[in-house]
Amino acid sequence: MSKNIKFFLVCFILSIFFWSGVNILEKGMEDFFYVRELEKNPLILTSDISYSTLLNIGEPVRIEEIPDLKILAKSAISVFVDSQEKDLILFEKNKSEKLPIASLTKLMTALVALNIYELSDTIEISKQAIEQEGEEIKLKAGQIVSVKELLSMALIESSNDAAYALATPNIQTERLEEKSFVDLMNLEAYYNVGLNPKTTHFINPTGLDPKDSSQITNYSASEDLVKLAKYLIKYKPEILEILSQRENEDFHYTLQSTNKLLGEIEGIIGGKTGYTDRAGGCLILILEGPRKNTFLINVVLGSENRFEEMKQLINWTKQAFRF
């Protein structure tokens, strides 16, 4: 077994123990919203309002007078997540169909990177990293860059160079292989996040299509991406914080988000774009819900106009449901 694979297997095993410990704290997450209400209104302690009454807010009600939404994207879903982390699907089209996801891949790349590194860790940029297809080159071979900066580049500007660099770090002069990192992405997806291995699979950390059109590319299903979003909300809010930024000037250049809906739609907690010739337009958008401590998770895959169709989806849910 190579040193590369050994290293990542060790990281994975450690992550299993770590997340096992996190599961013990799940009840603490259930209490999170209750504690926030107590901070805002301490009189709750002396009132007749019970904990269960506070959280039991009921499901959204469909307004039948509003016609069903027609959407051209190959797949789409909108899910309401209440304060007890229960889901209600508001809209879905082909939610279980596996489709190419392009740069939505980078959500899993960032998740695995945060399991391995500290934000202050640094990575030497390789020649292979700057040869990745895509955006204007901001990185140079041999440059030393922090993990925080690479994450911001990968998530805000969807930099393929940065995503590849995160997946192939130089540790003690030995550069780790892309395949080892991708193996860890799949293990994380299946065993920790709980995605379906029949409908989600990664072959690279960038989301780029293989040059050989006969080869598979990274794929997932809308319902799986909702699970991934819920996982990020609960365990990796730092990823969403980066994804909420319209621009970032923390570094020696300004990063501009690829998400055109930032600043146009209120309440965006985070969102990620994706596009390749095989995937078409892809977009995931996480919004603050219409009630306190709730969320709306929206996914569009295989769209010719992802931003417009996402707006249609969000506007329809607001009109078609009473919250």
Q: Convert the pLDDT of each residue in 200-238 to its tens digit.
A: 999 999 999 999 989 999 999 999 999 999 999 999 999
Q: What is the mean pLDDT of residues 297-313?
A: 98
Closest CA relative to residue 165, chosen from 145, 187, 190, 135: 145
Q: What is the mean pLDDT of residues 55-79?
A: 90
Closest CA relative to residue 224, chosen from 176, 183, 178, 189: 189
Is a pLDDT exceeding 80 seen at residue 150?
yes
> E strands, the chain, where?
61-62, 75-81, 87-93, 99-100, 122-124, 144-146, 170-171, 174-175, 219-220, 247-248, 255-256, 268-276, 280-288, 295-303, 321-322
Is a pLDDT exceeding 70 seen at residue 35?
no
| Amino acid found at 185 | M
What local confidence, expressed as pLDDT, does residue 147 receive?
A: 96
Range with the lowest mean pLDDT among 36-45, 89-98, 168-177? 36-45
Q: What are phi and psi of 234, to 5 degrees?
A: -80, -40
CB 161 within 8 A of CB 138: yes
Is a pLDDT exceeding 80 seen at residue 125?
yes
Whole-number Å distance between alpha carbons of 159 and 13: 29
232-270, pLDDT tens digit by residue? 999 999 999 999 999 999 998 899 999 999 999 999 999
Q: What are phi and psi of 54, to 5 degrees?
A: -60, -40
Q: Please report, rounded to a whole number, the percentage of residues in the chain having pLDDT higher than 90.
A: 76
Query: Which residue ranges make up each domain of the chain?
Result: 3-22+57-322
Alpha carbon separation from 161 to 126, 131, 157, 186 (Å, rounded): 9, 7, 11, 21
What local confidence, expressed as pLDDT, does residue 36 receive?
A: 44
CB 317 within 8 A of CB 91: yes
What local confidence, expressed as pLDDT, does residue 34 receive?
A: 45
- Assign domain 3-22+57-322 to a CATH class: alpha beta
Q: What is the DSSP letter of 49?
A: -
Is a pLDDT exceeding 90 seen at residue 38?
no
Query: Is the pLDDT higher at 109 or at 20?
Result: 109
What local confidence, expressed as pLDDT, does residue 16 receive?
A: 52
Q: What is the mean pLDDT of residues 156-164?
A: 96
